[in-house]
Structure 1
Amino acid sequence: MPRARELGIVIGAMPTGPTNSVLDVPGVGLGHTTVHRDEPAPPEGRGVARTGVSVLVLAEDAYRRPVPAGGAVLNGAGECTGFLTAGEWGSAETPVYLTSTMQLGRVYDAACEIALEAHPEVADDVVIPVVAECDDSHLNDCRRMQVTGDDVRAAHAAALASRGSAEPPEQGAVGAGTGMSCFGFKGGIGTASRTVGDHTVAVLLLTNFGVREELVVAGTPVGRQLPPVVSGPAKPAGSCIGLVVTDAPVDGAACARLARRVGLGLARSGSVAHHGSGEIFLGFGTGLRLDRDGTPDRTALGGRALDPLFAGVVEAAEEAVLDSMFTSPTTVGRDGHTSESLHSPGVLALLRR
């Protein structure tokens, strides 16, 4: 399904990268495993699954040469393993894994196994994979552990294979985004990028937040102008995981500041960060690398030199919200619960007006 720009909806004035995604940052990869099935409840089957796992590879050698990292929390009703160590050490050593709330532990186990297979010395040094979640229980039967270790491995392999691709990655109802809802519509995976001089900054979102009347599209209060949709129980305001990655030489402190700006992009789309929502953000920099003791290999950008990167994050985050929704089809999940696609005649007519 089309992205926002393909529908004539342009966010901001900064130029995008070639794929307008996280793949525009050299060495970065994004892969998904989508789990979508309709079976009877156990013991006859495995139930209704609308879930999956997505993996963001930051750098293939991140364990031996950690990347600077830092995080920010807008509202903390969620979980992200590795968040505390990123804040303490200012670095990350593993890919970032995204999945649904109840399957975080299962994905964490597989992430540890992947790290051990690639670097046996992890057993003597201990690594804490970065695994973050949003709740997809509105569409997915989370009483069943639907994601397997093989699903995690497949998403990781797909992420490695995607590095350097000239094609935009899959977005919307794929991977971890399969069962997510956003502003009362179908949400999921969204990504966008901006170029800043010789560098690129990109945002990847897992969107699962907001209520219908709050939605703003490119400054238009769409949610307040659309009639309500009655399609079973309403999806409560959920969460958003936001990941920023740039090839600019930034340290852990700057990564945290970049991550914080994701919240401004969400606000432009209408988010107010509800009580039960977990807006958790992480930033990563691949243009400056660290040794195992945390010593940087070059001088980091700082001060006002970060302002263009901040602007890029805000624009890319706002656009990534829209892409996560416009690229998602209407999805029916467990018990007939439905999340309507934002790519609908009513919404498009309103935007044209």
Structure 2
Amino acid sequence: MRIRELGVTIGSGTPGLYNAITDVPGVRVGHHTLNVETAETSIHTGVTVIEPRAGAAHLQPCFAGVHVLNGNGDATGLEWIREAGLLTTPIAYTNTHSVGVVRDALVAAEREMGKKHTYWCMPVVLETYDGTLNDIWGQHVRAEHVQLALQDATCGPVQEGNVGGGTGMICHEFKGGIGTSSRVLTAEQGGWTVGALVQANYGVREALRVAGYPVGRVLDDVPSPFKGEVNVGEPGMGSIVITIATDAPLLPHQCTRLAQRASVGLARVGGGTEDSSGDIFLAFSVGNSNLPAANFGHPGAPTTGLHMVNNDYISPLFVAAADAVEEAILNAMLAATDLKGCASQAFSLKPERLLDALAKVGWQP
């Protein structure tokens, strides 16, 4: 179930065919999920990968930009994006204690694809904390799981909820995880597509808003995973990482501006104000397909012809990004299913329960 299937419209734009980040031409998403429950341990985690273009990303780099709303989190590869404005590897989501192994696995994958064409890479890996439901100290994500996620990467519909890196995540004290959405601009606005993919693991219950309505205030009857006999953390802990993709020909500084608009979508749902949340956002553009390959030591022509969106046309892209992020978070929550792990349990936001809460706070279809 997704938020639009409930008759709830987020924003005024039109989603793409799949209402997913994969509506942006060439973008692919893959997951590998680990779910093992034994008497000794609870393993609920995984890896999600976003490929900006099919094949070796260093052969067709993308302009990109980064925005950090709150830095209580970790990531790899962002400094090179800030410096060069280029995304030259896939992007991966995982849990906090698996950043290193995922990064190393992506390096190995790039080595196999690149061989003699390049001699270093800086993969982008983003994380959120799943230790409330997953044995995070066991570091169960391994290199082969990253390879399986890469092999799974495809265009088309994207799995959401308890999948990949989002398997053990919690959002607004409900079960969270992976969510996605997209918007297609009108021809007059440029006709471009904007897509977002989130790993939602943040937020307090009472702050949750859907389509502007404060539903979190009337959902306190659903048990919180943080309120039990065992100390498993506190409401609001966690993070959210967001990737925004577009085929609009944006330059790096414009990608940074687009990434900033993820903050707007996050705020609409009720996030972005917790000290303990790492809110890290990345945006990339596939709109210039002729950028020179990242073949360091083997330079091509001294100049490259580029296209760029005029600033007079960039505001609709900002609107689309904010709307797609807002809807992606809600899709993550609705797609998720109940999960018990470690010393706690996270209940999903059931569609019928959400509709009941919306009616209580004045929403009408």
Q: Do Structure 1 and Structure 2 share a fold, with TM-score over 0.5?
A: yes
CA contact (8 A) 1:288 1:296 kept: no
- The CA distance in 2 between the partners of 1:40 and 1:212, in whole Å, is 30
The corresponding residue for 1:71 is: 66
- The correspondence of residues 325-336 of structure 1 with structure 2, limited to 5 A, is 325-335=333-343
Distance 1:216 1:118, change over 3 A: same
**Superposed displacement of residue 141, structure 1:** 0.6
The corresponding residue for 1:271 is: 271
TM-score, normalised relative to structure 1: 0.93
Match for 2:48 among 39, 54, 79?
A: 54
The corresponding residue for 2:257 is: 257
Which residue identity lines up with residue 157 of structure 1 in the other structure?
Q
RMSD between superposed Cα atoms in Å = 1.6
Aligned pair 1:169/2:158, yes or no? yes
- The CA distance in 2 between the partners of 1:214 and 1:340, in whole Å, is 17
- The CA distance in 2 between the partners of 1:185 and 1:74, in whole Å, is 22
- The correspondence of residues 169-318 of structure 1 with structure 2, limited to 5 A, is 169-196=158-185, 197=187, 198-228=191-221, 229-231=223-225, 232=228, 233=232, 234-289=234-289, 290-291=291-292, 292=294, 296-318=304-326
Distance 1:310 1:341, change over 3 A: same
Distance 1:78 1:349, change over 3 A: same
CA contact (8 A) 1:81 1:131 kept: yes
Aligned-residue sequence identity (percent) comes to 38
CA contact (8 A) 2:70 2:272 kept: no
The corresponding residue for 1:44 is: none
Q: Which runs of 5+ in 2 are unaligned?
A: 361-365
Cα deviations across residues 281-340 of structure 1 (Å, max 9, x unaligned)?
0000001132146955422113121111000001001001100100001111112x1111
Query: How many pairs are equivalent?
Result: 340
Cα deviations across residues 215-267 of structure 1 (Å, max 9, x unaligned)?
00111101112225255244542111010000111111111110000000000
Which residue identity lines up with residue 84 of structure 1 in the other structure?
E
- The CA distance in 2 between the partners of 1:321 and 1:227, in whole Å, is 20
Q: Which runs of 5+ in 1 are unaligned?
A: 42-46
Match for 1:132 among 126, 139, 145?
A: 126
Distance 1:298 1:112, change over 3 A: same
Which residue identity lines up with residue 109 of structure 2 in the other structure?
I
The corresponding residue for 2:25 is: 26
CA contact (8 A) 1:81 1:128 kept: yes
3-state SS of paired residue (2:58): coil
Match for 1:338 among 323, 334, 345?
A: 345
CA contact (8 A) 1:273 1:279 kept: no
The corresponding residue for 2:113 is: 118
User: Greater shift after overlay, 61-70 or 205-214?
Assistant: 61-70
Aligned pair 1:347/2:336, yes or no? no
The corresponding residue for 2:363 is: none
3-state SS of paired residue (1:18): coil
User: Greater shift after overlay, 193-202 or 317-326?
Assistant: 193-202
**Superposed displacement of residue 39, structure 1:** 2.2
- The CA distance in 2 between the partners of 1:30 and 1:3, in whole Å, is 18
Which residue identity lines up with residue 133 of structure 1 in the other structure?
E
TM-score, normalised relative to structure 2: 0.90
CA contact (8 A) 1:20 1:193 kept: yes
Distance 1:14 1:344, change over 3 A: closer
**Superposed displacement of residue 149, structure 1:** 1.0
- The CA distance in 1 between the partners of 2:270 and 2:212, in whole Å, is 9
- The CA distance in 2 between the partners of 1:13 and 1:203, in whole Å, is 16
